A and B are shown apart, each in its own frame.
Chain A
Amino acid sequence: MKKFQKAVAGFLAVVSMVTCVAGMRSSAAYYPTITKNFIVGNSTATAVAYRDSSHATASTKLSGGRCDVKLKYCGKTASYSNYINATPTAMINGSRGTASTEHRASKGSFSNSTSLVV
């Protein structure tokens, strides 16, 4: 019985170590990116938010439209507004906490917005 318990304990220890290593590996390599499409009239705009160990970025894209983007990260704010036919991309360097983003796109009389957290 003791041998069986030792074997089970050993097995669980190995499993937990493997899980731990795998977890560490996945967290080390995990750089969150969120891409979200949102409808503006009869067009589709794309919001992208990204963060890694050194910086965060955010962008808004709408072909043939106007775009705004706001990025808040590490107590700083970068915003671009009223960009026509362009894909404004805001960047802040840092390595603390989450980044929140706001995206707005408009085309003609249509307008829509979305926000993301990475």
Chain B
Amino acid sequence: MKKLIFHILCISILLTLPSCGKTESEHKIKDKSSKVITALSNASENGMLYFDENTCNFYDYASDITIPLCFKPNCTHSDQNCISKAITGSVNSAGNCFIFNDCIYYFSVNESIEGEGRDTTYQIQSTLHQWNLQSGEKTDVLEIPDLNCTSSVNMVFHDDTIYFIGCYGAHQFEDGTWMNAGYGKQYLCSVDLKDCSFENYGQVNDNVNASNNVIITENSINAVADQVTIAGVYHDTIYLYYNYVEDKNIIINAMDQGDNQTIDWNYEVKEFHLNSREMCISREQPPICLSNNWYVTENSSDKTITAKDQTGNTIEFSSKNDLPFDSYQYSIYNNKIWDLYNGVVYDLSTKEIYSVSENFLGANVTDYIAKENKYVVCSYDASGKLIYQKFDESSLIA
């Protein structure tokens, strides 16, 4: 009998061992396997992360309420000991942080100039911080030398790895003064969050004319739109793009005339294959929005939107958009292209175009909750504060 009890105890202990660490089902925030993180959309399976002026928030889809992003037991969320408040001193946008296994991660950068006069060097180092949302423990998990990792325009989270842009844009004048010269050389990088290993896949904006976006004079630096943008993931490939001019005088003339928003840019698109982890120049036009199944471009001259699926089949719509290419308001959810700025929805299944209810003009669709068949919409209240709410499709479409 004693032997039997002993064996039962041993088996019980063995069965309990794997749950010593928290399993995915125990996490309060359920990570998506793949997603694009932008300033307005940092979604998990069960909610949306976003910042208001003083607090980092989590909009919980199931309960339809917003709570401070802090799961410390007995925390009153009222002072700087609360993670949701303390983190806003370091991060102020949902596009600059990410959550993995109930920890929030973000980069900080330390820049310093060593030496005197002309004999100085510009030192830059980024640090990846990890903040455990349940224990409140903060850890610096990785140091990345020679790159500023805080300026990435969007990030991709895929298979427990975060992909982002690291940049180096410092320039030294003859008198020794250092200045930032735009975003400078920009590299696609990743951190595997399972073991915090860092990879740099090479410079993205390596076109010979890419430096034309930065005009350096005797005592000034003027950089115009030299950032690399991570557009998203299509067909297991990350798409990135940047713009440049072949002649620097185009930028100089535009600046002299005070109009740098109508420059006729050239675009270069790069694709990074997530399976082979190789980056190359793409033949595609720069996308206005992406999903894993659809690559969507806009032709502003004949005002059409073209959506291409993974098999190469295309659907073309007449565009209602009057803004230039970089009209950031498009998103794809539930096989529909949402353009709430212009109040239009392009249905990729029926090829119909619908109007959006006037209540949602100027808002953004930022996620789709499949099991509830509801859309998460980001808008601003009367005081300019960000709010997230979920709506049925019938509420959105007029």
Contacts and interface: CB of A to CB of B under 8 A. Distances in A.
Given A42-B380, A87-B93, A92-B177, A77 B229 contact: no
Interface in A29-77: 37, 39, 41-44, 46, 54-55, 61, 63-66, 74-77
B220 A42 contact: no
A11 B40 CA distance: 59
Interface in B97-129: 111-113
Contacts of A54: 112-113
28 contacts: A37-B384, A39-B384, A42-B379, A43-B384, A44-B385, A54-B112, A55-B178, A63-B40, A64-B329, A65-B328, A66-B261, A75-B219, A77-B222, A79-B223, A80-B222, A80-B223, A81-B222, A82-B260, A84-B328, A85-B95, A85-B153, A85-B154, A85-B328, A90-B179, A91-B111, A92-B177, A93-B113, A108-B362
A65 B328 CA distance: 8
Interface residues on B, range: 35 or more
Contact of A78 (B221, B260, B326): B221
Contacts of B329: 64, 108
Q: Which of A74, A76, A86, A89 has most B Cβ within 10 Å?
A: A86
Contacts of A78: 179-181, 220-222
B364 interface: yes
Given A84-B328, A85-B39, 11 more contacts: A42-B362, A55-B111, A66-B261, A78-B222, A82-B260, A85-B153, A86-B151, A87-B93, A89-B151, A91-B180, A108-B341
B139 to A, nearest CB: 25
Contacts of B113: 54-55, 93
Interface string B162-174: 0000000000010
B125 to A, nearest CB: 15
B38 interface: yes
Contact of A84 (B177, B225, B364, B386): B225
Interface of B: 38-40, 53, 92-93, 95, 111-113, 151, 153-154, 173, 177-183, 219-225, 227, 229, 255, 260-261, 263, 323, 326, 328-329, 341, 362, 364, 379-380, 384-386
A81 B223 contact: yes
Contact of B380 (A44, A55, A89, A94): A44
Contact of A93 (B93, B177, B328): B177
Given A78-B179, A81-B225, A86-B153, A46 B380 contact: no
A93 B229 CA distance: 27
B223 A64 contact: no
A46 B211 CA distance: 28
A65 B384 CA distance: 14
A41 B92 CA distance: 20
Given A39-B384, A61-B92, A77-B220, A94 B229 contact: no
